[in-house]
A and B are shown apart, each in its own frame.
Chain A
Amino acid sequence: MLTEAPPARRPTSSRVVAAPGGRRRVLWPYLLIAPTLLATAYLLVYPLLRNVIISFQQFGMAELIRGGAGFAGFANYTAVLGDPEFWSVARRTGVFTAINVGLIMVLSTLVALLVVRLDRVMRLLVLGGLVLTWATPMIAATTVFQWMFQSQLGVVNWALVSLGFEQFRGHTWFADGPQTFAILVVLIVWQSVPFAALTLYAAMTTVPHELYEAARIDGAGGFRSFRSITFPVLAPMFGLVTCLEVIWVGKAFVQIWVISEGGPGRATTTLPVYAYQIAQSLHRYDLGAVVSMLMVLLLGLALLFYFRRMFREEAAT
């Protein structure tokens, strides 16, 4: 059995341990982060730099095999930025991310609010279900969705036909752009809600009870107490979870690739899929590098606000 709700942790001050003087003391933190810095430098920054270099080169299959790629200046960047396809993919990625993250946040907030109000048995049941979903590996989950939406023997078509929607007999979901898009949204939301809901639920349990008591005495209803207490107290938490979900959804790749490879047409091609297609299918590694660099930039812009706030908060601690 899963345990009860985690003990409500009183947000302790992250007061810093006093560090008495001495050269060794000053060096300590840098020694502690040295492995992280080294790993990041070699396994992230270095490949990223190589990627930047590739994005300024003429780099196709021949160059990958033989080496000797020539400098191309900004030609690749102008090629990508001048391609209306890129902009439509970027817009689609924005829409895809917004829909998914919106649904994830709303649903997981509702689930978390529900779980807080459940009695023990039901709470354990729901938490158990969420954890099971969360533990299902992405590839396995994606495969199951393919099977459920299969045209001939899929359980979804069967259910719809049984409900009287005769037109779904043998319906081919993955042949239609918007429908494939919708299935991907369902899949990603289904995979992402558990983490967000569990996190928000845990955070809600830390809100002191007295606050709600006071609100109730003031005559506040469910929605008002959420708006005036839960949300403000947990605002940083909502911020963090939203931010993480934006990142995860925005760069979601495996689910889309396995289910639709970005098709039919371009209906489900988001930026990561687009970058992969250009690089791996067209063997234009240079253009693929450009798209991925632009994607990092766009994600960064989308989260700029959050970064700025985080930076300021860190200064305050």
Chain B
Amino acid sequence: MTGRLTRNLLALLVFVVSVFPVYWMVLTAFKPARDIQAETPTFWPSALTFEHFGTAVHAQGFWSFWRNSLLVAGGAVLLSLVVALLAAYAVARLRWKGRRGFILMVFIAQMTPWEALLIPMYVIARDTGMLDTLLMLTLVYFMITLPFTIVTLRNFLAAVPVELEEAAQVDGCDRPAAFRRVVLPLLAPGLLATSLFGFITAWNEFAFANLLIIKDQDDRTLPVWLSSFSNTFGTDWGATMAASTLFMLPVLAIFLVLQGKVTAGITGGAVKG
């Protein structure tokens, strides 16, 4: 076995490698312009400035893009949690004909290269009058996150002992009540972890947001806006990094608020392969 010191040094290395890009982003966002333009980069700001955040926040429409992204990602995650929970229960707890086929379908659905479906999705949205609506975007993101949500929730459910549920049923609860009172609380970390994953996916999505929102520019989402940063900010890396930091913020905030549960959740969810 390697010595304790070596292990700790390695751990430190892993930490630095994983955190450095994020640190660099946040640091650049707070650095005064002269530090950013300096030939020799500084790893600690000579002074903190909020100027770049000001530039980013005052960029036209910033807040409405933020709100749109939040609505779309939040809506999609919520929808997919509800739908996936039902399906996951059926798969994890009940025995029925076609169950294996269903699981396989979910797994294959996870493989979909979504960018390939841009054009058919566009045509469908157009023909049903859903172009330029956040609802269409929400539905697409819901579908993108659904398969993964089912797979992970199913694993979480499988990890909750059946005996608990049976005991509750013996105590006179019917099955939905037993589920609500016994299983759901135990499932909370899993639900949170899964929803966070879905949220990140939807929060990031770019291609559909770019094509399905055409004329209603106020309905654009953050990734679309951020991807055009070079046009929005030119060489202004400070503002770009500030915008990226703000973009990361909600995900980080949810993480911090839910911290323990989520880590337990992320890790617990996939345990039963």
Please determine if A and B sit in direct contact within the complex, based on CB atoms under 8 angstroms apart.
yes
Residues of A within 8 A of B (CB): 1-3, 5-7, 9, 11-19, 26, 28-30, 32-33, 35-36, 39-40, 43-44, 46-48, 50-51, 54, 64, 111, 114-115, 117-119, 122-123, 125-141, 143-145, 147-148, 150, 153, 155, 158, 190, 193-195, 198-199, 201-203, 206, 222, 236-237, 239-241, 244, 247, 251, 253-254, 258, 271-272, 275-276, 279-280, 285, 288-289, 291-293, 295-296, 299-300, 303, 307, 310-311, 314-315
Tell me how far the C-beta of B219 lies from the nearest C-beta in chain A, rounded to whole angstroms.
18
- Main secondary structure, interface of A, reads helix
Tell me how far the C-beta of B254 lies from the nearest C-beta in chain A, rounded to whole angstroms.
8
Q: List the B side residues contacting A299 at CB < 8 Å.
A: 111, 113
- Partner of A140 from the list B207, B245, B259 (CB cut-off 8 Å) is B245
Q: List the A side residues contacting B261 at CB < 8 Å.
A: 3
Residue total for B at the interface (Cβ-Cβ under 8 A)? 107
Q: Which residues 145-171 of B have a CB within 8 angstroms of A? A: 146, 150, 158-162, 165-166
- Please tell me if the beta carbons of B204 and A51 are within 8 angstroms of each other in the complex: no
B110 at the interface (CB under 8 A from A): yes
Using known A-B contacts A17-B165, A35-B83, A46-B124, determine if residue A153 contacts B37 with beta carbons closer than 8 Å.
Answer: yes
- Please tell me if the beta carbons of A202 and B161 are within 8 angstroms of each other in the complex: no
Tell me how far the C-beta of A239 lies from the nearest C-beta in chain B, rounded to whole angstroms.
7
Q: Pick the 6 closest A-B CB pairs, nearest first.
A: A292-B116, A202-B267, A3-B260, A236-B273, A50-B120, A32-B90
Q: List 28 A-B contacts (CB under 8 A).
A: A1-B260, A6-B263, A7-B264, A11-B159, A15-B162, A17-B94, A29-B99, A36-B83, A36-B84, A43-B142, A50-B124, A64-B119, A128-B15, A129-B14, A131-B263, A137-B223, A141-B22, A147-B237, A153-B41, A158-B41, A190-B17, A202-B266, A203-B271, A222-B1, A244-B110, A272-B115, A300-B108, A311-B104
Q: List the B side residues contacting A194 at CB < 8 Å.
A: 18
CB closest residue in chain A, given B112: A44
- Please tell me if the beta carbons of B271 and A202 are within 8 angstroms of each other in the complex: yes
- Please tell me if the beta carbons of B247 and A140 are within 8 angstroms of each other in the complex: yes
- Please tell me if the beta carbons of A190 and B270 are within 8 angstroms of each other in the complex: no
CB closest residue in chain A, given B267: A202
- Please tell me if the beta carbons of A285 and B18 are within 8 angstroms of each other in the complex: no
Q: List the B side residues contacting A140 at CB < 8 Å.
A: 25, 226, 244-245, 247-248
Using known A-B contacts A32-B86, A40-B109, A54-B119, determine if residue A16 contacts B93 with beta carbons closer than 8 Å.
Answer: yes
- Please tell me if the beta carbons of A275 and B116 are within 8 angstroms of each other in the complex: yes
- Please tell me if the beta carbons of B8 and A118 are within 8 angstroms of each other in the complex: yes
B32 at the interface (CB under 8 A from A): no
Using known A-B contacts A36-B150, A247-B111, A251-B111, determine if residue A138 contacts B37 with beta carbons closer than 8 Å.
Answer: no
CB closest residue in chain B, given A275: B116
CA distance in complex: A32, B95 (Å): 12
- Please tell me if the beta carbons of B18 and A132 are within 8 angstroms of each other in the complex: yes
Tell me how far the C-beta of A240 lies from the nearest C-beta in chain B, rounded to whole angstroms.
4
- Please tell me if the beta carbons of B95 and A139 are within 8 angstroms of each other in the complex: no
CA distance in complex: A46, B112 (Å): 13
- Partner of A48 from the list B120, B161, B162 (CB cut-off 8 Å) is B120
Tell me how far the C-beta of B247 lies from the nearest C-beta in chain A, rounded to whole angstroms.
5
- Please tell me if the beta carbons of B268 and A9 are within 8 angstroms of each other in the complex: yes
- Please tell me if the beta carbons of B90 and A29 are within 8 angstroms of each other in the complex: yes
- Please tell me if the beta carbons of A36 and B19 are within 8 angstroms of each other in the complex: no
Tell me how far the C-beta of A142 lies from the nearest C-beta in chain B, rounded to whole angstroms.
9
What number of residue pairs across chains A and B have CB atoms under 8 A from each other?
Answer: 314
- Please tell me if the beta carbons of A132 and B22 are within 8 angstroms of each other in the complex: yes
Using known A-B contacts A129-B19, A199-B266, determine if residue A12 contacts B158 with beta carbons closer than 8 Å.
Answer: yes
- What 0/1 pattern do residues 21 to 55 of B give for CB contact below 8 A with A? 11011001000000011011100000000000000
B70 at the interface (CB under 8 A from A): no
- Please tell me if the beta carbons of B28 and A147 are within 8 angstroms of each other in the complex: yes
- Please tell me if the beta carbons of A51 and B100 are within 8 angstroms of each other in the complex: no
Known: A275-B115, A311-B104. 14 other contacts (CB 8 A): A13-B162, A16-B94, A36-B106, A114-B14, A119-B4, A126-B15, A129-B19, A135-B251, A247-B110, A253-B115, A289-B116, A295-B113, A296-B111, A310-B103
B177 at the interface (CB under 8 A from A): no
- Please tell me if the beta carbons of A47 and B146 are within 8 angstroms of each other in the complex: no
- Partner of A51 from the list B1, B4, B120 (CB cut-off 8 Å) is B120
Q: Which residues 71-111 of B have a CB within 8 angstroms of A? A: 82-84, 86-87, 89-96, 99-100, 102-111
CA distance in complex: A7, B110 (Å): 29
Tell me how far the C-beta of B220 lies from the nearest C-beta in chain A, rounded to whole angstroms.
14
- Partner of A131 from the list B93, B161, B255 (CB cut-off 8 Å) is B255
CA distance in complex: A39, B203 (Å): 20
B187 at the interface (CB under 8 A from A): no
- Please tell me if the beta carbons of A279 and B87 are within 8 angstroms of each other in the complex: no
- Partner of A36 from the list B86, B115, B162 (CB cut-off 8 Å) is B86
Q: List the A side residues contacting B96 at CB < 8 Å.
A: 26, 29-30
